[in-house]
A and B are shown apart, each in its own frame.
Chain A
Amino acid sequence: MVFRRHILWLVYSQTTSTLTLIFLRVTKSYTENPNYLELLRQRDEGILTQMVLEETPKLYRCIARLVRDPDEVQNLVQETFLQALRKVENFRGESLFSTWLCAIGINLARASLRRSIRTDLMDEADIEVLQPRFDEQGHAIAEYPLWNPERGLIRKEQIRILYEAIERLPEDYRLAITLRDLEELPMDEVARMLEITEGNLRVRLHRARNALRNLLIHYDTNT
Chain B
Amino acid sequence: MIQTLKYWLGINLNCKEAHQFLTDYVENALDEDLKWRFEQHMRLCRNCRVYLAQYKAVIALLHDTAPPKPQPELVAHTLSFLKNELNKPTS
Interface residues of A (CB under 8 A from B): 43, 48-49, 52-53, 56-57, 60-61, 64-65, 70, 73-74, 77-78, 81-82, 85, 132, 134, 137-140, 143-144, 146-147, 149, 155, 158-159, 162-163, 177, 181-184, 187, 198, 202-203, 205-206, 209-210, 212-213, 216-217
A-B contact count (CB 8 A): 121
Chain B positions within 8 Å of A, measured between CB atoms, are: 14-17, 19, 22-24, 27, 29, 47-48, 50-51, 54-55, 57-65, 67-71, 74-75, 77-79, 81-82, 85-86
Main secondary structure of the interface of A (DSSP, over half): helix
Partner of A61 from B58, B60, B62, B67 at Cβ < 8 Å = B67
Q: A140's contact among B48, B65, B70, by CB below 8 Å, is which?
A: B48
Q: Which of A56, A61, A65, A209 contacts B78 (CB 8 A)?
A: A56
The 3 A-B residue pairs with the shortest CB-CB distance in the complex, in nearest-first order: A138-B14, A138-B16, A64-B68
* Chain B residues whose C-beta falls within 8 Å of the C-beta of A205 in the assembled complex: 23, 27
Q: Is the CB of A213 within 8 A of B64?
A: no
Q: B48, A213: Cβ atoms under 8 Å? A: no
Given contacts A78-B78, A155-B61, 18 further A-B contacts (CB under 8 A): A52-B78, A61-B68, A82-B82, A134-B15, A137-B14, A138-B14, A138-B17, A140-B51, A147-B54, A149-B60, A149-B61, A162-B58, A162-B61, A162-B65, A181-B59, A206-B22, A216-B58, A217-B54
Question: A178: nearest residue on chain B (CB-CB)?
Answer: B62
The SS class assigned to the B binding surface is: helix
